[in-house]
Amino acid sequence: MKSATFEILPTNNENREMCNTGNAWRLVLFFLWATGIAWLFAVFVLDSPNPFSQFSSKQNLPFVNNNAAPHNALNQTPAMNINSPKENDGEKYCDFFKGQWVPEPNGSLYSQWSCPTIPDTKNCGKFGRKDVDFINWRWKPDECELPRFNPKTFLSLVRGKKLAFIGDSLARNQIESLLCLLSQGETPKDIYKDSEDRFRTFYFPSHDFTLMVYWTKFLVAAEDKGIINGSRTNVFDLHLDKLDVNWADKLPNLDYAIISIAHWFLRMNNLYEGGRLIGCTECNNPNVPDLGTQFTIAKAIRTALGYISECKECNRGLVTVFRTFSPVHFEYGSWNSGGKCNRTRPYTEEQVNSYNAEWEMEIRRRQVKEFEKIKNTTKGKMFEILDITSAMIMRPDGHPGHHWKDQYSDGKSFTDCVHWCLPGPIDLWNDLLMAVLQRRKGSSL
């Protein structure tokens, strides 16, 4: 397969658009504003509702063993327990998402040279990143060990299945990581790419596994207001009660849907419901209420997960995995004004506490709440969460910064402290995905 074709990333278009717009500044100012205050983080960490707290255990329970059916729920039907593994006779679950980064001398499963699909936008080593210590960490949940990604284990879990990442360029970043990780086990065939390179399909013939990415900025329907009077507005009309059919139509085909959204909401957008303008975000219009990004993200999640929850045509075994907010780490300025993310180590606990992550944890909190509402009230559908926000807040050292390039631009024009280097801490998302799918399989045998 050609790696070059995978380099045309949505993020580039996104960035180009951002170059031309004043609205991007709102986003940037918002980031700057948000990174300026530093007092609520600890409160949020301590108070944040933990979606898996009911599974937590004071004891150190071993993680699900690959080869053994780990739970004593074998005599229950999947329909009874798929939505509530906690009911498995008091079986306790480790909270994978609460923990810390610990040194890992063995580094990553792959390198910039051994991954055939690594895109230049994330190939930090190729574009001058000299420090390598940021690769030598692994995530250690407080209550258990998280197995490192194993391509064989993952591919056997998803044998014969179809899995899609649904979201923006961060969803793309996760599939790029997964492709690198899996390519150490089986080389995928690159079988489909649309003209804008926003929908991709890869196929792993030995495991009959189909891996896809579906591009959507908002999950809900959005109209680009396009160019008005010669300048790009970059304002979208969001229909909060309508789905973006580009992914929704494809859902019935899937066994696993990995869903995420957020970053495109942190800017000026107009909001519609029932075809009526109900408000806007990051806006300044005396006649239209600013309903806030939190509200808007929550609404979009409700619409998207609500659709999945009621989807009749969907696969009976469909597992939906919601990934929480991926934090950004600009310092010394913004993405195009000398902003940097040049740290080479994870934050210490002390640094995390003094770095303001309150707004990021608040987005996460709202996302988790919407997710739980749907999960708690849905019967016969499986929902999981990849709650990566806390772990990633600790990794200001994981972004490309100015070590990246694509056909439009490079790190000299602006720094990227939004996406993540490969290899790098984003590989954790797929360690977690493997663990969650493995546990899911164990609990619904």
Ligand X SMILES: *[C@@H]1O[C@H](CO)[C@@H](O)[C@H](O)[C@H]1NC(C)=O
**Which positions are annotated as active-site residues?**
169, 416, 419
Q: Is residue 145 a contact residue for ligand X (CB under 6 A)?
A: no
Q: Which stretch binds ligand X (CB under 6 A): 35-43, 139-147, 318-326, 339-347?
A: 339-347
Instruction: Give the C-alpha separation, 183 to 180, whole Å.
Output: 5
Task: Closer to ligand X by CB, 31 or 204: give it.
Answer: 31
Size of the site for ligand X (CB under 6 A): 14
Burial 196-230 (b: 16+ CB within 10 A, else e): ebbbbbbbbeebebbbbbbbbbbbbbbeeeeeeee
Q: Which stretch binds ligand X (CB under 6 A): 113-121, 274-282, 321-329, 372-380?
A: 372-380
3-state DSSP assignment of residue 389? helix
Task: Closer to ligand X by CB, 357 or 385: give it.
Answer: 385
CB of 105 to ligand X, least distance (A): 6
Return the residue of 14, 237, 372, 410 that touches ligand X, per CB under 6 A: 372
Instruction: Give the C-alpha separation, 396 to 131, whole Å.
Output: 14
In the region spanning residues 199 to 228, those forming contacts with ligand X, defined by CB under 6 A, are: 228
Q: Which stretch binds ligand X (CB under 6 A): 6-14, 273-281, 298-306, 340-348?
A: 340-348
CB of 200 to ligand X, least distance (A): 32
Q: Which stretch binds ligand X (CB under 6 A): 14-22, 40-48, 250-258, 342-350?
A: 342-350
CB of 33 to ligand X, least distance (A): 20
Q: Is residue 369 a contact residue for ligand X (CB under 6 A)?
A: yes
- Binning the chain into helix, strand and coil, the percentages to the nearest 5 are 35, 20, 45
Return the residue of 206, 351, 376, 413 that touches ligand X, per CB under 6 A: 376
Return the H-helix or E-strand segment holding 327: none
The residue assigned the tokens 């327990």 is 81
CB of 372 to ligand X, least distance (A): 4
Beta strands 220-224; 236-243: pairing state:
antiparallel
CA angle 154, 311, 73 (to 5 degrees): 50
Q: Is residue 342 a contact residue for ligand X (CB under 6 A)?
A: yes
Binding mask 85-104 for ligand X (x = CB under 6 A): --------------------
Return the H-helix or E-strand segment holding 428: helix 427-443
Q: Which stretch binds ligand X (CB under 6 A): 67-75, 110-118, 256-264, 370-378?
A: 370-378
Instruction: Give the C-alpha separation, 210 to 207, whole Å.
Output: 9
Binding mask 305-334 for ligand X (x = CB under 6 A): ---------------------------x--
Instruction: Give the C-alpha separation, 443 to 91, whole Å.
Output: 10
CB of 164 to ligand X, least distance (A): 26
Burial 286-300 (b: 16+ CB within 10 A, else e): eeeeebebbbbbbbb
What are the E-state strand segments in 244-301? 256-259, 269-273, 276-281
How many Cβ atoms are within 10 Å of 272's Cβ, its own excluded? 21
CB of 370 to ligand X, least distance (A): 8
- DSSP bridge partners of 67: none
Residues at the interface with ligand X (CB under 6 A): 54, 105-106, 228-229, 332, 340, 342-344, 369, 372-373, 376
